[in-house]
Structure 1
Amino acid sequence: MPTGGSHYSSPAYYYSVAAATTVGTMSLGWYLWNRPGKITPIVNLQSQTRELQDGSRICRYLKTDTLMNSLHPDALTLYECVRRGARVSNNGPMLGKRIKQADGSEPYVWLHYNEIIDRSVNLAHAMRYIGIPSGQSSFVGIYAKNRPEWIIVEHATYTFSNILVPLYETLGAEACVFSLNQTEIQVVFCDTLAKAKNLKEQKEQCMFLKYLVVMEEGITDEEKAAFTDVGLTLYGFSELETLGATAERTPIVPPKPDDLATICYTSGTTGTPKGVMLTHGNIVADATTLIYFKYTEVKSDDVMMSFLPLAHMFERVVQSVVYTNGARIGFFRGDIRGLADDIKTLQPTLLPVVPRVLNRIYDKAMSEVNKSTFRKTLFNAALSFKLREINHSVIRNDSFVDNLVFKKIRDQLGGKVKLMLTGSAPLAENVMNFIRCALGCVVVEGYGQTECVAASTITLEGDSTPGHVGVPSPCNIIKLVDVPELGYFARDNAGEVCIKGSNVFKGYYKNEEQTKEVLDEDGWLHTGDIGRWTEVGTLKIVDRKKHIFKLAQGEYVAPERIENIYLRSKFVAQAFVYGESLKTCLIAIIVPDPEVLLLEASKTLGVGNLSMQELCQREDVKKMIMDDLLAVGKAAGLFSFEQAKDIYLASEMFSVENDLLTPTLKSKRPKLKEHFKPQITSMYAKLD
Structure 2
Amino acid sequence: MSPFKPPYAVPATGSIKKDGETAAMRHFKFADKLVDHPEGITTLWDMYVNGSKLGGDRPFLGARRIENGEAKEYVWESHPKVMKRIKNFGKGLVSLGLERQKVIGIYSVNRPEWTMTEQACYREAFIIVALYDTLGAEAIDYIVNQTDMEFIVSSADKLANITQLKTQLPTIKHVIIMDETIEETLRTNAAAAGLIIHTYKEVEKLGEGGAETKLPTPEDIATICYTSGTTGLPKGAILTQANCVASITGIAAAGTAGTFAPISHTDVYISYLPLAHVFERAAQGIHVYRGAAIGYYQGDTAKLLDDIEELKPTVFCSVPRLFNRIYDKVLSSVKAKGGLSSMMFNSAYGQKRSHLKTTVNHWLWDRLVFATIRQKLGGRLRFILSGSAPVSPDVMDFMRICFSAQVYEGYGQTENFCAGCLTVKEDNTSGVVGIPFPCSEIKLVDVPDMDYLSIDKPYPRGEICIRGNSIFREYHNAPDKTAETIDEDGWLHTGDIGVFDSANRVMIIDRLKNIFKLSQGEYIAPEKIEGVYQKHELVSQAFVYGDSMQASLVGIIFPDAYALSAWASKTPEFASLSKAELYTSPEVKKSILKILNAFGKQSDLKGFEQIRAIHLTSDEFTVDNDLLTPTFKLKREIAKKVYKKEIDELYATLSNGRAFN
TM-score normalized by structure 2? 0.92
Query: Partner of 1:210 in structure 2?
Result: 173
Aligned mate of 1:268, from 226, 229, 251: 229
Q: Within 5 Å, give how 1:595-606 maps onto structure 2.
A: 595-606=562-573
Query: Matched residue of 1:208: which SS?
Result: coil
Cα deviation, residue 251, structure 1: 3.6
Query: Partner of 1:175 in structure 2?
Result: 139
Query: Partner of 1:663 in structure 2?
Result: 630
Query: Partner of 1:649 in structure 2?
Result: 616
Cα deviation, residue 300, structure 1: 1.4
Partner AA of 2:396 in structure 1? M
Matched, 1:617 2:584: yes
Query: Matched residue of 2:230: which SS?
Result: coil
Query: Partner of 1:324 in structure 2?
Result: 289
Cα deviation, residue 476, structure 1: 0.7
Is the 1:145–1:169 contact (alpha carbons within 8 Å) kept by the matching residues of 2? Answer: no
Q: Cα deviations across residues 33-54 of structure 1 (Å, max 9, x unaligned)? A: xxxxxx653x31x321123442
Is the 1:56–1:477 contact (alpha carbons within 8 Å) kept by the matching residues of 2? Answer: no
Is the 2:389–2:633 contact (alpha carbons within 8 Å) kept by the matching residues of 1? Answer: no
Q: Cα deviations across residues 91-128 of structure 1 (Å, max 9, x unaligned)? A: 432212223699x9933232222222221111111112
Is the 2:446–2:463 contact (alpha carbons within 8 Å) kept by the matching residues of 1? Answer: yes
Aligned mate of 2:318, from 347, 353, 360: 353
* Distance 1:653-1:250 versus aligned 2 partners, 3 A rule: same
* Distance 1:608-1:166 versus aligned 2 partners, 3 A rule: farther
Q: Cα deviations across residues 65-94 of structure 1 (Å, max 9, x unaligned)? A: 311113x32332111111011222334322
Identity score, percent? 40
Q: Cα deviations across residues 106-152 of structure 1 (Å, max 9, x unaligned)? A: 3323222222222111111111221112x22x111111111111111
Query: Partner of 1:521 in structure 2?
Result: 488
Query: Partner of 1:238 in structure 2?
Result: 201
Q: Within 5 Å, give how 1:365-514 maps onto structure 2.
A: 365-370=330-335, 371-392=337-358, 394-396=359-361, 399-492=363-456, 493-514=460-481
Cα deviation, residue 162, structure 1: 0.8
Matched, 1:90 2:56: yes
Which entry has the higher C-alpha Rg, 1 or 2? 1
Partner AA of 1:272 in structure 2? L
Separation (CA, whole Å) in 2 of partners of 1:49 and 1:518:
24
Query: Partner of 2:251 in structure 1?
Result: 289
Query: Partner of 1:7 in structure 2?
Result: none
Query: Partner of 1:342 in structure 2?
Result: 307
Partner AA of 1:108 in structure 2? Y
Separation (CA, whole Å) in 1 of partners of 2:556 and 2:72:
44
Cα deviation, residue 60, structure 1: 4.6
Matched, 1:69 2:30: no
Separation (CA, whole Å) in 2 of partners of 1:338 and 1:651:
21
Separation (CA, whole Å) in 2 of partners of 1:572 and 1:106:
34
Cα deviation, residue 221, structure 1: 5.5
Separation (CA, whole Å) in 1 of partners of 2:573 and 2:317:
41
Cα deviation, residue 201, structure 1: 0.3
Separation (CA, whole Å) in 2 of partners of 1:680 and 1:222:
45
Query: Matched residue of 2:208: which SS?
Result: helix
Matched, 1:120 2:86: yes
Partner AA of 1:428 in structure 2? S
Matched, 1:224 2:177: no
Partner AA of 2:103 in structure 1? F
* Distance 1:668-1:340 versus aligned 2 partners, 3 A rule: closer
Separation (CA, whole Å) in 1 of partners of 2:218 and 2:417:
14
Cα deviation, residue 668, structure 1: 2.6
Partner AA of 2:333 in structure 1? E
Is the 2:107–2:153 contact (alpha carbons within 8 Å) kept by the matching residues of 1? Answer: yes
Cα deviation, residue 204, structure 1: 0.3
Q: Which runs of 5+ in 1 are unaligned?
A: 1-38
Q: Cα deviations across residues 539-569 of structure 1 (Å, max 9, x unaligned)? A: 1111111133333333333333333333333
Query: Partner of 1:48 in structure 2?
Result: 8
* Distance 1:358-1:659 versus aligned 2 partners, 3 A rule: closer
Separation (CA, whole Å) in 2 of partners of 1:419 and 1:51:
29
* Distance 1:522-1:622 versus aligned 2 partners, 3 A rule: same
Is the 1:158–1:254 contact (alpha carbons within 8 Å) kept by the matching residues of 2? Answer: no
Query: Partner of 2:539 in structure 1?
Result: 572
When structure 1 is superposed on structure 2, of 86-95 and 314-323 the one drifting more is 86-95
Q: Cα deviations across residues 339-382 of structure 1 (Å, max 9, x unaligned)? A: 22221222211111112222222223223322122112111222
Partner AA of 1:257 in structure 2? P
Q: Which runs of 5+ in 2 are unaligned?
A: 656-661
Cα deviation, residue 179, structure 1: 0.9
* Distance 1:655-1:113 versus aligned 2 partners, 3 A rule: same
Separation (CA, whole Å) in 2 of partners of 1:90 and 1:312:
29
Matched, 1:679 2:640: no
Separation (CA, whole Å) in 1 of partners of 2:588 and 2:419:
41
Q: Cα deviations across residues 269-290 of structure 1 (Å, max 9, x unaligned)? A: 1111111111111112112134
Query: Matched residue of 1:578: which SS?
Result: strand
* Distance 1:531-1:445 versus aligned 2 partners, 3 A rule: same
Cα deviation, residue 441, structure 1: 1.5
Partner AA of 1:443 in structure 2? V
When structure 1 is superposed on structure 2, of 55-64 and 336-345 the one drifting more is 55-64
Query: Partner of 1:547 in structure 2?
Result: 514
Cα deviation, residue 644, structure 1: 2.6
Query: Matched residue of 2:140: which SS?
Result: helix
Cα deviation, residue 253, structure 1: 2.5
Separation (CA, whole Å) in 1 of partners of 2:493 and 2:364:
48
Query: Matched residue of 2:214: which SS?
Result: coil
Query: Matched residue of 1:329: which SS?
Result: strand
Cα deviation, residue 638, structure 1: 3.5
Query: Partner of 2:77 in structure 1?
Result: 111
Separation (CA, whole Å) in 2 of partners of 1:611 and 1:520:
57
Query: Partner of 1:312 in structure 2?
Result: 277
Query: Partner of 1:27 in structure 2?
Result: none
Separation (CA, whole Å) in 1 of partners of 2:626 and 2:585:
27
TM-score normalized by structure 1? 0.88
Aligned mate of 2:265, from 284, 290, 300: 300
Q: Within 5 Å, give how 1:136-215 maps onto structure 2.
A: 136=101, 138-192=102-156, 194-215=157-178
Is the 1:330–1:346 contact (alpha carbons within 8 Å) kept by the matching residues of 2? Answer: yes
* Distance 1:526-1:612 versus aligned 2 partners, 3 A rule: farther
Q: Cα deviations across residues 375-405 of structure 1 (Å, max 9, x unaligned)? A: 121112222333344321x3447x2321111
Matched, 1:628 2:586: no
Cα deviation, residue 206, structure 1: 0.4
Aligned residues: 639
Cα deviation, residue 647, structure 1: 2.3
RMSD, aligned α-carbons: 2.3
* Distance 1:388-1:322 versus aligned 2 partners, 3 A rule: same
Is the 1:569–1:628 contact (alpha carbons within 8 Å) kept by the matching residues of 2? Answer: no
